[in-house]
């Protein structure tokens, strides 16, 4: 699959790994792909996102806030959210009913970031299932657009098409309209 990736698209994948490592995460999620798409030398994908009003600083701050919101990992909190459980609301309710000591909310909201030596060996951090899906969808987007190569714009289209990961939440929370962003990416590719 990676043989079709342009140098810029490969840089996005490498950048996503670097973002996960910097944030001390053990898996590459959609949020890391989004942060990498906002990086330098990514091409039209970064211009579209920045033009829609999303900066790498804002996105990183939102990712950090969302991933430090509970003692569980971002995938766990996201899975609970998908079935209608707001972990922050549950923790607040526990505090309200049983006192601050019942749930050490401060420790839960600010887990100790992992150090580089605590991350998986071998230099590679694995992709989460959602991030893998984004890469699969980006390839489908490239094929549907009859492109011989996979560019960062196709990765952004895959991210938008997946639409349920932490990256989508960051974009929506930042005020981006995902349908408009998709149209802008398609226009940039045309």
> How many helices and strands, by DSSP H and E, does the chain display?
11, 0
Is a pLDDT exceeding 90 seen at residue 99?
Answer: no
Residue in this structure with the two tokens 């609301």, named with its chain if needed: 89
Q: Find the mean pLDDT for residues 103-132.
A: 60
pLDDT value at position 108? 45
CA distances from 10 to 4, 87, 136 (A): 10, 35, 14
The residue ranking higher by pLDDT, 14 or 104, is 14
HSE toward the beta carbon, residue 100, CA cutoff 13 A: 2
**Cα–Cα dist 153/155, whole Å:** 5
Across the range 63-87, mean pLDDT stands at 72
Q: What is the DSSP letter of 110?
A: S
Burial degree of 95 (CB within 10 A; 0-12, 13-18, 19+):
middle
- 128-137 per-position pLDDT tens digit: 898 999 999 9
Residue 138 has pLDDT above 60, yes or no: yes
* CATH homologous superfamily for the domain 2-68+113-189: Clp, N-terminal domain (1.10.1780.10)
Q: Are 131 and 29 in contact (CB under 8 A)?
A: yes
Position 100 pLDDT exceeds 60: no
Q: Work out the average pLDDT over 156-183.
A: 90
Report pLDDT for 144: 92
Cite the residue boundaries of each domain of the chain with CATH code 1.10.1780.10.
Answer: 2-68+113-189
pLDDT confidence band for 72 (50 / 70 / 90): low
Q: The tokens of 58 are what?
A: 């804002």
Residue 111 has what pLDDT?
Answer: 45
- The confidence band for 61, taking pLDDT boundaries of 50, 70 and 90, is confident
The answer to whether residue 36 scores a pLDDT higher than 70 is yes
H-assigned helices in the chain: 7-23, 30-37, 44-51, 56-67, 74-82, 87-98, 105-109, 129-144, 152-162, 166-173, 178-189
Band the pLDDT of 163: cuts 50, 70, 90.
confident
- pLDDT digit string, tens, across residues 40-59: 877 888 888 888 888 888 88
Q: Compute the average pLDDT of residues 97-104.
A: 59
Terminal-residue alpha carbon distance, the chain: 23
Query: 131 Cβ partners below 8 Å, 6+ apart?
Result: 16, 27, 28, 29, 30, 32, 33, 165
């Amino acid at each position: 699959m990676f043989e079709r990736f342009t140098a810029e698209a490969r840089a996005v994948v490498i950048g996503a790994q670097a973002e996960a490592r910097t944030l001390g995460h053990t898996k590459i999620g959609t949020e890391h792909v989004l942060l990498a798409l906002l990086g330098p030398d990514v091409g039209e994908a970064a211009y579209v996102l920045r033009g829609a009003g999303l900066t790498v600083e804002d996105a990183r701050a939102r990712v950090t806030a969302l991933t430090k919101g509970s003692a569980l990992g971002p995938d766990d909190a996201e899975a609970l959210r998908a079935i209608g459980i707001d972990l922050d609301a549950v923790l607040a309710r526990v505090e309200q009913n049983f006192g601050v000591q019942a749930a050490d909310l401060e420790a839960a909201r600010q887990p100790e970031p992992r150090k580089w030596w605590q991350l998986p060996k071998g230099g590679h951090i694995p992709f989460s299932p959602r991030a893998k899906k984004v890469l699969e969808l980006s390839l489908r987007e490239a094929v549907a657009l009859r492109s011989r190569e996979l560019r960062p714009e196709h990765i952004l289209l895959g991210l938008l098409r997946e639409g349920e990961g932490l990256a989508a939440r960051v974009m929506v929370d930042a005020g981006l309209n995902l349908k408009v962003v998709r149209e802008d990416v398609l226009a940039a590719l045309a």
